[in-house]
Amino acid sequence: MLGNFQKTQLRIEIEAPATTISDSLLRPAQLEKWLLSGRLPTGMPEQLHPGFQFTTRFGPVAIHHQVDVADSNCLRLILSQGIDGFHEWYWGEGWVQSRLEGISILPLALGQSLNLLSLRQFLAKK
């Protein structure tokens, strides 16, 4: 894999209940509305579950995701292709935390920050 090892962790406050945050992260129909990488592939389930796999694109870079954990307050994705690593999400009443580690040529900290801000903006409109 080309790129550098990168590691970033952010936690932000979001004015939303944990159930709304959970739906925004675990339900592809909601996830697609705020995720900056664009559209999710067709055939996504109503809710993400362990073992489900899908691929997204960030410009010309494909990123393969395998759902490792999908619980009421945690989502862990194993990443390959454009990012070799993992992305963990944790949340509760009024907060979201994202931890991303991997090897990539993409600027992971920038992408993570923009996605968290997009999620916050999306939830503020609800």
- Domains and their CATH numbers in the chain: 4-125 (3.30.530.20)
Contacts of 63 (CB under 8 A, 6+ apart): 37, 55, 56, 57, 79, 80, 81, 82, 83
Q: What is the pTM of this model?
A: 0.93
| pLDDT recorded at residue 126 | 77
Phi-psi region of 43 (alpha: psi -120 to 50; beta: other; left: phi over 0): left
pLDDT band at 1 (very low <50, low <70, confident <90, very high): low
Residue-wise pLDDT tens digits, 19-68: 999 999 999 999 999 998 768 999 999 999 999 999 998 888 899 999 99
